[in-house]
Amino acid sequence: MLAFGSAATVLGLVIAVVVVRLTHRQAQSLKHQAMFDALTDLPNRLLFADRVQQAILVARREQRVFALIAMDLNRFKIINDTLGHHIGDLVLQHVAARTRACLRESDTVARIGGDEFVILLATISDLDGALIAAKKILAALADAPTLGGHSVDVGASLGIAIFPEQAQDAETLQRRADAAMYFAKQSHSGYALYSNTLGQDAEDRNALQGELRHAISHDQLVLHYQPKIDFKPGHVNGVEVLVRWNHPMLGLLAPDKFIPLAESSNLIKPLTVAVLRGALRQCEAWRRAGIDLSVLVNLSAVNVRDPEFPDKVAAILAEFSVPPARLELEITEAALMSQPALAVACIKKLSRMGLQISIDDFGTGYSSMAYLKELLVAKIKIDRSFVKDMASNHNDAVIVRSTVELGHSLGLKIVAEGVETQEVWDQLHALGCDDAQGYFMSRPLSATDFSAWLKHSQWAAGERVETNIVDLKTA
């Protein structure tokens, strides 16, 4: 019994060892599969990412540089489509082997997608090292090998990005190498080094667009408020809402840095919705505190061309206890004229909902005031380029005066923007202009700064401004 028991124990041990061995081998194989590309046996995206991360740590610690090369084959798709997948696979294996063979042991060549390869040159001492390696790769792939009985001329395009000069993290480094690669491909130059001018193209635009999308949905947009002053009582009657982007790396960005990007990518729609909500939320808060101010929100041409926009505005308005008349929408003359039929339909609808519509930057386009009146537009904002220097420029003064006169004769209210000096304020006041905005009264302010402005400014309280106007008249 004892002997049998021992034999069974030994057998059990043997089986256990075999099982452990097998699972160890299987585990090794699974590990290999997880980190290497089955077709070329090159490291895959996962392992490559790990190596780049290691390279970043070493380079930071030892204050060294390294390069990342993105490589794409020039004619792979055509070869694959015309000669078949089998030849396509042979091409990829050929490229992998040749590239691997011409570089140092310490470099990593990886396949991260169809015909996309990446190369990590971890031990270069300078940029020249990367350029030499790129030329070596191109030379290694220059001949047209015979694969599966076909002579195939593959050709490759390489894009180089250097750490830390051109990017300080793995993701940016990869994007920049890709951008350089696209440039090399388009210009048929074989290889290209990432440069900052190159980066301003598609790559940075795409990155910024992604970040803007994130910013809109993650409350990174900040609203600033610039008071609009009514000349008659001489105090603030509304605020223009001006958006800024609080970018985590670049700081507070002005609208001209991202509105054009938003407009060209349709992100302007969610952006406008976010601004409208923010503006109405603030307006509601002020109303609760006993401050009755209109909020003026800027629209883009994309918004006024969108047939669903008026309904969207109505739905947002319904979320807040703000009367529609306290929401003013500003549409530039240029936006109005770009697609007049759609814009007109939109403006009429918004106006019938009880909202105030004003035409922004008036004087820069070719719309006629009589036409605007027909559109149910309530206000015209004279562009700041005419207002700013009207005290010293006679032509500007004439344009402003005739705009005020003609507008009034048609029953439109006239707002002047860009009032920077007391002199301009006085002239506009004398012309009977209705409202004014400008640095002279206040720059756009954050909500907190605007609250402080409301407490202390001469334009915030009726009586003090009356005194001020008397002063102005006698000055």
Beta bridge partners of 251: 247
Decide: is 333 part of the binding site for Ca ion (CB under 5 A): no
Is there binding between residue 358 and ligand C2E (CB under 6 A)? no
Sheet holding 116-121, edge to edge: 108-113, 116-121, 66-73, 156-163, 191-193
Where is 117: in which H helix or E strand?
A: strand 116-121
Query: Which range binds ligand C2E by CB under 6 A, 23-31, 195-203, 316-324, 412-420?
Result: 412-420
Binding positions for Ca ion, 204-243, rule CB under 5 A: none
* Under rule CB under 6 A, residue 360 binds ligand C2E: yes
Using rule CB under 5 A, residue 435 touches Ca ion: no
Other Cβ atoms closer than 10 A to 166: 21
Q: How far is 212 from 271, CA to CA, in rounded Å?
A: 9
Q: Is the peptide bond before 227 cis (omega within 30 degrees of 0)?
A: no
- Using CB under 6 A as the binding rule, whether residue 427 contacts ligand C2E is answered as no
Residue 403 binding ligand C2E, by CB under 6 A: no
CA gap 472, 468 in Å, rounded: 6
Could you give the CA distance from residue 42 to residue 431 in angstroms, rounded to a whole number?
77
Residue closer to ligand C2E by CB (options 360, 434) is 360
Q: Is position 259 an interface residue for ligand C2E (rule: CB under 6 A)?
A: yes
Q: CA-to-CA distance for 171 and 184, rounded, in angstroms?
A: 20
Options 243, 283, 331, 431; binder of ligand C2E; rule CB under 6 A: 243
- 115 is a site residue for Ca ion (CB under 5 A): no
- 444 touches ligand C2E (CB under 6 A): yes
* Residues 270-301: b if buried by 16+ CB within 10 A, e if exposed: ebbbbbbebbbebbbebbeeeeebbbbbbbbb
The span from the CA of 215 to the CA of 246, in Å, is 8
Q: How many residues would you count in the chain?
A: 475
Residue 255 interacting with ligand C2E (CB under 6 A)? yes
CB of 427 to ligand C2E, least distance (A): 14
Give which of ligand C2E, Ca ion, none residue 437 binds (C-beta under 5 to 8 Å, depending on kind).
ligand C2E
* Two structure tokens written together for 420: 């920077």
CB 300, min distance to ligand C2E, A: 4
| Cβ neighbours of 141 (radius 10 Å) | 23
Q: Which does 255 bind (CB under 5 to 8 A by kind): ligand C2E, Ca ion, none?
A: ligand C2E
Q: Whole-angstrom Cα distance, residue 442 to residue 422?
A: 12
Candidates 68, 275, 400, 412; binder of ligand C2E (CB under 6 A) is 275
**Does residue 384 touch ligand C2E according to CB under 6 A?**
yes
Q: How far is the CB of 165 from Ca ion (least distance, A)?
A: 41
Write the binding mask 60 to 99 for ligand C2E: x where contact by CB under 6 A, - elsewhere: ----------------------------------------
Closer to ligand C2E by Cβ: residue 199 or 444:
444
Which parts of this chain interact with Ca ion (CB under 5 A)? 298, 330, 360-361
In the complex, the residues that contact ligand C2E under the rule CB under 6 A are 226, 242-243, 254-256, 259, 275, 298-300, 360-361, 384, 417-420, 437-439, 444
